[in-house]
Amino acid sequence: MRTDAVSLNRLPVGKKGRVLHLDADDASRRRLLDLGLVVGTEVESLYKSPSGNPVAYFVRGAVIALRDDVAGGILVALS
């Protein structure tokens, strides 16, 4: 694993990263791809819910919310 790469759930609020890899089963992977989370896409962590889960992310002009377990399977390179 590269030192400048982290799972999406570890991306600090206000920081950006680029998708490097998706680790998900077929149905979840298809959903993530449909949401625009393809390799090379820039993702920004916007804010956490009061409980800390889910987290809102800005992806390709849209705000999406992902649970911690789903975001943990997305590897991003810090920008």
CATH code of residue 60: 2.30.30.90
Q: Are strands 62-66 and 5-7 parallel, antiparallel or unpaired?
A: unpaired
Per-residue pLDDT, 44:
97
Instruction: Give residue 57's pLDDT.
Output: 97
What pLDDT is stored for residue 79 in this prediction? 84
pLDDT attached to residue 52? 79
**Which residue range(s) make up the domain with 42?**
5-78
Residue 3's pLDDT is 60
* Residues of the chain below pLDDT 50: 1
- Number of structural domains found in the chain: 1
Residues 6 or more apart from 39 whose CB is under 8 A from it?
19, 20, 21, 22
Q: What is the pLDDT of residue 1?
A: 46
CA–CA separation, 62 and 51 (whole Å):
22
